[in-house]
Amino acid sequence: MYCKKCGAELREGDAFCSCCGRRVEAASEDGMAFRTESSRNPEISSKLILKKVGVPKWITTIGIISVVVGAFLILFYVPMFIKLMSYGSFYRRSSYVSSNLWWSGFCVVIGILILIMGILWLKAPMSMKNNTVRVFTDKVELQCVDSPISYNQVLKHALIGGSSRAVNATIMFHEISSVACIKTGRLRFLEIETKNTNKYKVFINDAEEIVNTITQYMKRA
């Protein structure tokens, strides 16, 4: 007989599981105790088979490049803009000075926008960089921030904060009703929905591999 929650083997007469403390279910009419899907195969144990951590590195790369480009434009064109603005109105009327004044001002604005965007690209995944998904042979463990599902929401979360909640959950395979990889542009989100309608969205590397592994071991359970 096996625990319905953690799959640990139970001794006859146990009222509670010695591993997780769950109450042992009553026996059926034919004297056989109910078992979970995973307990049908007593060889299944909680063995770690896959661990994924963090968010895509390309997001950080784009953020760093944007910050560098934005900072370069600002540092290069701000002195030029200030120098041209120091000229008298007579000189600013000339086409050469006027065109350079407008160009330098335009580049400064673009540099500021690129710098802000780069900071957001760096900040957006910061609260989610420690996301961890562990897949065992009979369960999934989530230690993460429940993620916004689109990058616009991710940027909004980075800019003004959000309601993303910390998640520390252990989900047995028999509790899962669906598991999917949601693609938003180049972003990947792991979505797990349980039979009691809990839904978890995790912003993490290689969500497709996680989904394939979970699906494979759910079939074996």
How large is the average pLDDT for residues 118-122? Answer: 80
Q: What is the 8-class DSSP label of residue 8?
A: -
The C-alpha atoms of residue 123 and residue 158 are separated, in whole angstroms, by 6
Model pLDDT, residue 37:
40
The C-alpha atoms of residue 12 and residue 34 are separated, in whole angstroms, by 13
- Global pTM? 0.53
* 27 pLDDT tier (thresholds 50, 70, 90): very low
The yes-or-no verdict on residue 17 having pLDDT over 70 is no
Long-range Cβ contact pairs of 101-108 (< 8 A, separation 24 or more): 104/77, 104/78, 104/80, 105/77, 105/81, 107/73, 107/76, 107/77, 108/73, 108/74, 108/77, 108/78, 108/81
- Write out the two tokens for 187: 């972003």
